[in-house]
Structure 1
Amino acid sequence: MTTQETRELLGDRFIPKPHFSLVRHAIVDAPVEQTYAAARAIDLTEIHSGLATAAGWLRELPARWQSRRAGPPRRPTRLTLDDLDAGTDWALLGEHPGSEFALGVAGKFWRPVIAWRRVEPDDFAAFSEPGYGKLVITFGVRPYGAHRSLLTLDTRVLLSDPPSWLKFRRYWRVASPFALVVHAALLRTIAQDARRRALDAYRREDG
């Protein structure tokens, strides 16, 4: 009998016991290499699901109202995960190249205008400032047979104290259906790009 080493999930490293979680899977008609590349290179400005777009627009309304005198907020023409890490409060917490990576942020997510808080990877697991929650999203890719992949989105939330937990629970009742739609849009977009990459690779090999 052979044993296979089990690598620690990044979600378990940063939020091993979440208060709230949402996990979605998709079987992708592309090998792991192309599926992981598609996930790692995703451009968030290309996520255009009707309800997901509406949910994002509604979530931005308070910030838009606050900044109405300064004119409409600038919309990025490109927003990759590396762009998030470099220019926003989100941090790329860790990566198992070729199989999994994780993004995280702290914040008061239940507020009409979210109070975001960047927490660096080395400090993320221990961060527990009262009044905040921590959010981790991991993208995982694993083989599913010889030529397909299992793509997983794992979202975990941990609150720092009971009052924050109560506030987030009320918020989550409303937000979780929209989160499901966003997950589905992300999975669909990554799967489409992965299939395109796999087809391009096949054509190069065949030609």
Structure 2
Amino acid sequence: MAVPPSPLLADRFASRPEFGRTDHLLVDANPAATWKALRGLDLTELRGGVAGFAVWFREAPERWRAREHGPARERTRLTWDDLDAGTDWMILGENPGHEIVLGAVGKFWRPVVKWVPCEPRDFLDFATPGFGKVVWSFTTHPYGERRTLLSSEIRVTLTDPQAWLNFRRYWRISTPAVSLISRAVLRTIKHNAETGGRAR
């Protein structure tokens, strides 16, 4: 008998994305260890200098705009919970041991992103024209007896045709950086799951 597909929390927030990307990585660790590494990830320790540069480059306009306020405080740690508590990103939902979903609302295509404060309960119904909604989910699935399939999926929906056109142009040039960051996150989780977080 066929096994019914497992529902995804990401489907609740972006069931019909207009743009998206999915990356997978096979982890030589069980789902429990992989989930622990995923949930405890520190984004300041992403593996791969190119991905780090992509993050730095994307945030450069905001840092330049705020230069009159003095040097920005360097983060020493940045977890999913830190993102949720201290940035315009939010944890939309979590299925412990299997999936975590983050989201943000804004005009991502602008040189200085215009973020919109939004609560998770309001994310699905947000429809103000001119904006985009991004959903970033991570899932873990058993793969055989002792390995785990780790997935990262980014889904984007836009609130009107003009926002769609603006984002399409941005997506074409930003996809390489988005890909680097997504794969760097997966590689870091894989490394931490397989080594218990120990440096190699």
The normalised TM-score by structure 2 is: 0.94
> SS where residue 167 of structure 1 aligns?
helix
Counterpart code for 1:93: L
Where does the alignment leave 5 or more consecutive residues of structure 1 unmatched? 200-207
CA contact (8 A) 2:35 2:97 kept: yes
**C-alpha displacement at 1:48, in angstroms?**
4.3
1:77 match: 76
Aligned to 2:57: 58
Query: What amino acid is the match of 1:184?
Result: R
C-alpha contact (below 8 Å) 1:32/1:141 kept by paired residues:
yes
Task: Tell whether 2:179 aligns with 1:174.
Answer: no
Partner of 1:158: 157
RMSD between aligned residues: 1.6
Per mean C-alpha deviation after superposition, the further-off stretch among 32-41 and 47-56 is 47-56
Cα 1:127–1:74 shift into 2, 3 Å: same
Q: Which aligned pairs between 1:3-22 and structure 2 lie closer than 5 A? A: 4-22=3-21
The sequence identity of aligned pairs, in percent, is 49
Cα drift, residue 198 of structure 1: 9.5
Structure 2: gaps of 5 or more residues: none
Name the SS of the counterpart of 1:73 in structure 2: coil
Q: What amino acid is aligned across from residue 197 of structure 1 in structure 2? A: G
Amino acid at match of 1:26: L
Give the Cα separation in 1 of the matches to 2:197 and 2:165: 45
Q: Distance in 2 between matches of 1:116 and 1:198?
A: 33
Look up the SS of the partner of 1:39 in the other structure.
helix
Partner in structure 2 of residue 203 of structure 1: none
**What is the identity, as a one-letter code, of the residue corresponding to 2:77?**
R
Displacement of 1:5? 4.9
My pick for the range that moved more, 167-176 or 121-130, is: 121-130
**Whole-Å separation in 2 of the counterparts to 1:62 and 1:197:** 36
Matched to 1:60, the amino acid is E
Q: How many residues align?
A: 198
Determine if contact 1:42/1:81 at 8 Å carries over to the other structure: yes
Higher Rg = 1
Give the letter for the 1:45 counterpart.
T
What's the counterpart of residue 91 of structure 2? 92
| Alignment-mate amino acid for residue 187 of structure 2 | R
The answer for the alignment partner of 1:124 in structure 2 is 123
